[in-house]
Every structure is written in C-alpha cells, then in structure tokens.
Structure 1
Amino acid sequence: MDTSTLQAFVETAQLGSFSQASQRLFITQSAVSKRVAQLEEQVGARLFDRIGRTIALTDAGKALLPQARRILAELEDAKRVVKNIKGDISGRLSVAASHHISLHRLPNTLRTFTTQFPDVELDLRFYESEVAYEAVLHGDIELALITLSPESDPRLHSEVLWLDRLFYCVSNDHPIAQHGTTDFETLNQYPGILPAPNTFTSLIVHEQLAQRGLTPNLGISTNYLDTIRMMVSVGLGWSLLPESMIDNSLHKVVIDSDAIERPLGFIYHRDRTLSNAAGKLLNLLKEDAQKGS
C-alpha cells in the first residue's frame, strides 16, 4: 500500500468518479482505475461497486475512507513540518474559497502572493462555503475562505477577516422601490430570490419572516450571488445582498429589521500543521483586510 493508491482511492470516493479523480490527480483515468484495483488487491476487498457509469463505496470502502484520509493527512503534515523547519515557502497550497470571496475579496491578495512566492503551487478551488467547510474537516483542503458558521466545529480554527453588511434590495423600478419604507408582509407579496436553504443568507431571511408568521414567497434560486444581483436588477424579485455588491442598479429597501452582518473569514484544522505558504497567505489576507480591500 502506498500513497499513490490511497490518493486515487480518496479522490475517486470524494468525487464519485474515476474520470474526475484523474483530472484532479493529473493522470489518466486508466491509471486511476489501476491504482484503485491495486489497493483492492492489497486489502483483499472490493472498495467500489461499479454499476454502469455509476460508482458507490462498498462497506469496506466506507470503512477504509477515513483511515486513508488520516494516513494521507499525517504524511502531508510530516512533510510540512520538515519544510517549515527549513523555512521553505514552496510546494502545493490547497485553498478553497467561496465564489463571492474569490470575486470580491481575493484578487489583490492573490496577485501579491503569486508575485512574492512564485515557487508555491496554488491549488485554488471554488466551493460553496458548506462544501469547503467539510473539505477542511476531512483534511482535503489546508485553508478555506468562507462565510463562517455561527457554531464552528471545535476541531476547526476560524477567524473573521471581513464583515459583510447585508441589505434587502429590489430593482429601481420595482413597486417596493416607490415606497419610503416597507414591512416584511409587503415585501413577501413579491417573489424572493435566495440561495440554498442551508446558506447563511437564506437562513437569516427564513428566520426573520418566521418571526412574523410568514412563509417565504420564493421564486428562482441559485447559490451565485452575482447571478442573484443580476436577476434582482432586472426586476425578477427581491433578495438580501452584501453592501459591496449593491450598485446604482439596485434599490435598498428600508425595512424594520436589525442590521445584518455576515462574517467572512478563514478556517483550518487545528490538528494540521500550517505550511509556511499558508502562513504567508494568511498574513497577506489580514493585512489587506485591515486596509479595507
């Protein structure tokens, strides 16, 4: 059993696809299949059920997966400890970031980081915050830049970098925009455009409406806030959006509710030794956040 077979197994299990695992590992699909087959032979059990193009973990595969993740994480941790001692700022740095943070908070920091540390191989993945959270917990990602959960897992270190103020918005020609002020009952007469129910924004809206005995009148749904902003701007409904995304195509709704702030920041696993590269990136992020970028 070696790391290459374990990596092929973990990536295939995580992505649910031999072809996607091959893309992640930069090897051919047949090479991934061969490595998984070698691992199955070594452990003496089938790890995946293959039904047509669909694969699923067997009971043996489910039992092996957390152990394989732990072994790979400990090996990577050992490598980082040695590199850190040597002072190296190089190698692979895996970072997951939400689409909103990637578009609106990261560009300047990434430009500086890649210029200052050209020997770092940046593996930047665009995940929804909830997916990135799980990836850090499982040891698949070193850092995640996400909307922070109000109840973080004790295994994770989390730190706020930015506070996003959120406002209810409609298009400038929406009937609500003609009101000086409005209330949730009036707002909810029109369709809302929200991300998935388990997201910070959606949970806030559901809670505020529920406090007033209202069930959200929801229309289109997408997790991409820039798409939501576009749909709101052309009059398809209202939404709750970060102040940083509100331009003159949108109208802030004056409504009786407490100020809403969404904490954005980073998380990493407390049991994982951060690489020198991760430390440098976090320092740059903190500096830029203090400057207001």
Structure 2
Amino acid sequence: MDLRQLEYFVAVAEEAHFTKAAERVHITQSGVSAQIRQFEKELGTELFDRSSRMVRLTAAGAAALPHARQALAAAQAVRQAIDDVTGLVRGRLRLGMVTGCTVTPLFVALASFHRAFPRIEVSLSEANSDVLIEDVRAGHLDIALVGAAGGMPGDLGSVTLVSEGLVALVPEGHALAAKDEVTLRRLSAYPLICLPSGTGIRSVLDQACAAEGLRPNVALQATAPAAVADLAARGLGVAVLSTSMAADQPELTAVPIAGVDVPALLALVWRKEESIVLRALLPHCRRAFAL
C-alpha cells in the first residue's frame, strides 16, 4: 500500500461516493476506483459495500479507517517537520518599514537574525503604514513596522513598541515657543508641516481634528520626520511629530498638543498564522526591543 491509496480510501469513506471523492482528490473517478480495487486486493478484503447507490464501509473498512487517517496525519507531520527545517535554510523574510522611520533596534534584530540564519534571504521595503498593513494582510509581507492611531488591527498579530502623544515643533522666537502646550484649535490657525496621510502620526492628528470639527491647514508634507522638522526650522510652518521624533530635533522647541487623546503607536504587525521564518525572527525582535 502507499499513501495515495490511503488518501483515496479516506476520501471515498468520508464522501460516501466515488465521484465526489475523485473531485476532492483531483483525479478521475475510474482512477480512484482502480486504486481502491488494488488496495483491497493487497489487503485481501473489500473495504466498501457497493451494492447500493451510497458507498458504505464494510466492517473491515470501518476498522481500517481510523488507522488510515492516523497514517496520513503522521505523513503530514513528517512533511511539516522537513518544511520547517528547510524553511530556515532556504527561506525568505519579507519585511516592511514605514517610510522615513529609522528604528535602530529593528536593525539590531535583523542583524542578529541574519547571523543565526545566514542563508535566509531578507528583503526590506518602505511604504506608508496603511499600505504596509494591507500588504501584510495579503501575504505580500511577513512582518512590518507601522505607525497607527490608537490601536492595531484585530485580525493581525502585533506588538506595540512606542505609544506617545503629538507635539508641535517651532523655531526659537515663534509665537508658540513660550507656550506650555497648544490646543488643536489654535494650532489649526497656523500652516502645518506633517507626515503624509496613511501614516500613524497623521492619522492621530486628522482624527483629533475631526473630533473637534476642525480642518488642519496642512501646508507641506514630507515622508521623513527630519525633513518635516527642517522645513519648520526654516520658518515654513509648524511641524507636527511625535514626542520621540521631537527629541531628535534639539534646534526646535517642542510644544505638547493638548486635547489629543488617541496615542500615536509604533508597532510590529504580522499575520496570525505565523510562518516558520517569522517564528524564528520574533525572538530576535523581542530581545532587541527589550520586550
């Protein structure tokens, strides 16, 4: 006997019909019948009662069925074990990262992962967070570093790395520079320099303004936080970034934005049905980010 015969036997038993079983295993009905006949000949007994329109198991067939299922499950376990090993030898990791975001611990995790599994091909692409999340959902990416407003999609696995508020960044001498905080209403009176739509920080700003019936005056957009800050330093508007991003811009004054209750998040997201390569990467990420 072979695994193919066991597969056909289980299919016929579960479908109670040769034609339906053939459709399930994607061969002709005559092919299934021939294999079952050969299987019965090797065993020396009939497995099915073919005297009625419905195919029924004989006593011998009923006794054989659970063992056939166990044999097929064991074969699948062998295949999975081999796939797991070869996946870590010849696999590929597809990583996405929000545009303009340099997060050193992520690179530390990738370097550690590469040392552990040097033959796995690693690819890295950048896009806005909304695009990255959809690419993870569609299976085009294994994992992505994204920004979001308030929470992560429930249909994806995730771990939050940063949760923080928004600040306005202005140069010395600006009217807001001496303020302890600025309201959204007052902020909306200035030309703003922001990250583009589809990024987590921009989503937080847009949602907060919409909740108060405000329309922010976005004068300029840039994909990199450093570019947003540089434009503000040249007097072209008020930059809106997160608290941690503002810490990298010591030449500007950071003024907390009041009334923004939804935090800006930075997180790793992946599909819940994790691949073997992804399962190998996640411990490196947790160590690098001290999670």
2:268 counterpart residue number: 266
Q: Whole-Å Cα distance in 2 between the matches of residues 260 and 172 of structure 1?
A: 28
Q: Whole-Å Cα distance in 1 between the matches of residues 238 and 208 of structure 2?
A: 15
2:123 counterpart residue number: 123
Q: CA deviation at 1:94?
A: 1.0
Q: CA deviation at 1:100?
A: 4.3
Q: Whole-Å Cα distance in 2 between the matches of residues 179 and 161 of structure 1?
A: 29
Determine helix, strand or coil for the equivalent of 1:163: strand
Q: Whole-Å Cα distance in 2 between the matches of residues 80 and 241 of structure 1?
A: 46
Letter of the 1:168 counterpart: A
Alignment partner for residue 250 of structure 2, among 248, 251, 270? 248
User: How many residue pairs are counted as aligned between the two chains?
Assistant: 212
Q: CA deviation at 1:158?
A: 2.4
Letter of the 1:262 counterpart: A
Aligned partners of 2:177 and 2:253 also within 8 Å: yes
Aligned partners of 1:148 and 1:160 also within 8 Å: no
1:137 counterpart residue number: 137
Cα distance 1:139–1:289, how it changes in 2: closer, same or farther (>3 A)? same
Q: CA deviation at 1:283?
A: 1.0
| Superposed counterparts of 1:55-70, under 5 Å | none
Cα distance 1:261–1:170, how it changes in 2: closer, same or farther (>3 A)? same
Letter of the 2:275 counterpart: L
Q: Whole-Å Cα distance in 1 between the matches of residues 160 and 141 of structure 2?
A: 19
Q: Whole-Å Cα distance in 1 between the matches of residues 179 and 274 of structure 2?
A: 54
1:160 counterpart residue number: 160
Q: CA deviation at 1:81?
A: 6.3
Determine helix, strand or coil for the equivalent of 1:106: helix
Q: CA RMSD of the aligned region, Å?
A: 3.0
Determine helix, strand or coil for the equivalent of 2:189: coil
Percent identity of paired positions between Structure 1 and Structure 2: 22
Q: Whole-Å Cα distance in 2 between the matches of residues 129 and 80 of structure 1?
A: 33
1:113 counterpart residue number: 113
Q: CA deviation at 1:282?
A: 1.4
**Rg larger in 1 or in 2?**
2
Letter of the 1:264 counterpart: L
Correspondence 1:178 to 2:178: yes
Q: Structure 1 segments of 4 or more deviating over 6 A?
A: none
2:235 counterpart residue number: 235
Q: Whole-Å Cα distance in 1 between the matches of residues 284 and 230 of structure 2?
A: 31
Cα distance 1:254–1:88, how it changes in 2: closer, same or farther (>3 A)? closer
Q: Whole-Å Cα distance in 1 between the matches of residues 283 and 126 of structure 2?
A: 21
Letter of the 1:184 counterpart: L
Q: Whole-Å Cα distance in 2 between the matches of residues 251 and 80 of structure 1?
A: 56
Q: Whole-Å Cα distance in 2 between the matches of residues 212 and 178 of structure 1?
A: 25
Q: Whole-Å Cα distance in 1 between the matches of residues 282 and 102 of structure 2?
A: 15
Letter of the 1:285 counterpart: C
1:134-193 deviation per Cα after TM superposition (whole angstroms, max 9, x unaligned)? 111111111122124656555422222333443222223322113454433332221011
Cα distance 1:164–1:258, how it changes in 2: closer, same or farther (>3 A)? closer
1:183-239 deviation per Cα after TM superposition (whole angstroms, max 9, x unaligned)? 333322210112333433223223333444432122012333232122123222123
Determine helix, strand or coil for the equivalent of 1:176: coil
2:205 counterpart residue number: 205
| Superposed counterparts of 1:74-93, under 5 Å | 82-85=82-85, 88-93=88-93
Cα distance 1:231–1:92, how it changes in 2: closer, same or farther (>3 A)? same
Q: Whole-Å Cα distance in 2 between the matches of residues 192 and 210 of structure 1?
A: 16
Unaligned runs of 5+ in 2: 1-78
Aligned partners of 1:161 and 1:286 also within 8 Å: no
Cα distance 1:172–1:152, how it changes in 2: closer, same or farther (>3 A)? same
